[in-house]
Amino acid sequence: MDLFDVYPLFDVEIVRGEGCRTFDKEGQEYLDLYGGHAVISVGHSHPYYLQQLQAQMEKLIFYSNSVQNSLQRELAHKLGKMSGYDDCSLFLINSGAEANENALKLASFYNGRKKAMALCGAFHGRTSGAVRVTDNPKITAPINAGEVEFVPMNDMERIVKSLDKGDICAVIVEGIQGVGGIRVPDDEFLRQLQAACNRTGTVLILDEIQSGYGRSGKFFAHQYAGIRPDMITVAKGMGNGFPIGGVLISPKFKPEYGMLGTTFGGNHLACTAAIAVLDIMQAEKLMENSLRVGAYLKEALEQFPQIKEVRGRGLMIGLEFEKPVKLLREKLLYEQHVFTGASGTNVIRLLPPLCLSKEDADLFLKRLETVLKGLN
């Protein structure tokens, strides 16, 4: 059987990882400025993470959501404390798309409405509801169609006009748009959006799947604006590579048996991975590191005359160029052995593990400078 060929692949096979480094089959070392789509949060193969997973694996890998699982409660408790949301409750699933799918469903159960609002450039996943609120018709099949209004980021006048009609179930917004090009919503926009949602009975969902878990330098990117959304969705960095996602749900939503459910969500190994991530983030002050090294990197990148604009917060950084970045990324990977990501054609996306050191940031800057010089 062959693979269903949907991914354009780089000709590299990564077989090992350590901190902010990965290694291919030939033993070549790479600097990882992408963390495999923002997934590696505490670093590749962190010894404590491995030890915790190994110990749990020897005890129990899985049992269903029909019995008590104290690991889920421990995860919820630690996540609530570290994120500042200990009044919320947690629903666990396996991916980002599922997190958004369940948040949208819960919002619709809550107010009985079925129309959604999302921002232009948004990416929320590929399952039916999640892809409906994703601003990319190429990945939306007819079966995913449903009522959704896409509005420009920061255009409060337009948004208020729509919300005032009273038929929008939920507004879903990324803490920082990732796939859309590392676009940070204005703090004041988020504050006004929350007020408009509260006034019109619309549920506000903050998708922190890419921008959350300390990446921005705060636990959640929306915390810069001082808002408290109705639901927050998480995944990616939550498990440092072990698939897990979650919805943080404010107390205004009351659970009922059978309302939501999943087979694999919140399984023993996934919870162990997610608890280890939080323990490491706290012990190694990774949120602070993200803020410090992110600011250092951003300031240095702003000095490059070839870069049109540097955007982002913490270790979620976008570099916009005048020209397509395809060749630049290929040279970084094959000649300088640096992994980066892209958003669209002209933006390089940096999403390194949160343990990136200043020395590694310097190494990246040097390698980027070399490639840019060669391209001029």
Ligand X SMILES: Cc1ncc(COP(=O)(O)O)c(C=O)c1O
- Interface positions with ligand X (CB under 6 A): 37, 95-97, 100, 123-125, 174, 178-179, 207, 209-210, 235
Residue with Cβ nearer ligand X (43 or 96): 96
Q: Which residue is nearest to ligand X (CB)?
A: 96
Look up residue 116 and give its two tokens. Answer: 């959604």
Instruction: Give the nearest distance from C-beta 132 to ligand X in angstroms.
Output: 13
Q: Rank residues 176 and 371 by Cβ distance to ligand X and give the closer one.
A: 176
Q: Please say which residue, 69 or 100, places its beta carbon nearer to ligand X.
A: 100
Give 126 or 292: the residue with its C-beta nearer to ligand X.
126
- Which residue lies nearer to ligand X by CB, 125 or 181? 125
Q: Are 151 and 158 in contact (CB under 8 A)?
A: yes
Please spell the DSSP secondary structure of 54-122, one letter per residue: HHHHHH-S---TTS--HHHHHHHHHHHHHHT-TTSEEEEESSHHHHHHHHHHHHHHHH---EEEEETT-
Q: How far apart are CA 154 and CA 349, in angstroms?
A: 22
Bridge partner list, 312:
317
- Both tokens of 91, joined, read 């629903």
Contact (Cβ atoms closer than 8 angstroms) between residue 169 and residue 113? yes
Under 8 Å between Cβ of 342 and 329: yes
Q: How far is the CB of 94 from ligand X (least distance, A)?
A: 8
Cβ proximity to ligand X: between 129 and 367 the closer is 129
Q: What are 23's two structure tokens? A: 């290694």
Non-local (6+) Cβ contacts of 310 within 8 A are 298, 301, 302, 317, 318, 319, 320
Least distance in angstroms from the C-beta of 125 to ligand X: 4
Q: Is the dihedral of CA 121, 124, 129, 131 positive or negative?
A: positive
Q: Which is nearer to ligand X, 106 or 371 (CB)?
A: 106
Min dist. Cβ of residue 96 to ligand X (A): 2
Report the residue number, 124 or 337, with the smaller CB distance to ligand X: 124
> Using N-to-C axis directions, what is the helix angle for 268-283 and 47-59, rounded to 10°?
150
Beta bridge partners of 247: 91, 233
> In terms of CB distance, is 32 or 360 closer to ligand X?
32
Which residue from 328, 297, 300, 302 is spatially nearest to 315, judged by alpha carbons?
A: 297
Q: Measured from the CB atom, is 207 or 230 closer to ligand X?
A: 207
Residue 209, CB half-sphere, CA atoms under 13 Å: how many? 32
Q: Closest approach of Cβ 180 to ligand X, in Å?
A: 9
Residue 133 beta carbon to ligand X: minimum distance, rounded to whole angstroms: 10
CB 131, CB 139: distance < 8 Å: yes
CB of 26 to ligand X, least distance (A): 29
- The CB-of-272 to ligand X minimum distance in angstroms stands at 19
Rounded CA separation 161/156 (Å)? 8
The token pair that represents 43 in the structure block: 């670093």
CB of 146 to ligand X, least distance (A): 17
CA–CA gap between residue 68 and residue 45 (Å, rounded): 29
Q: Shortest Cβ distance from residue 90 to ligand X (Å)?
A: 17
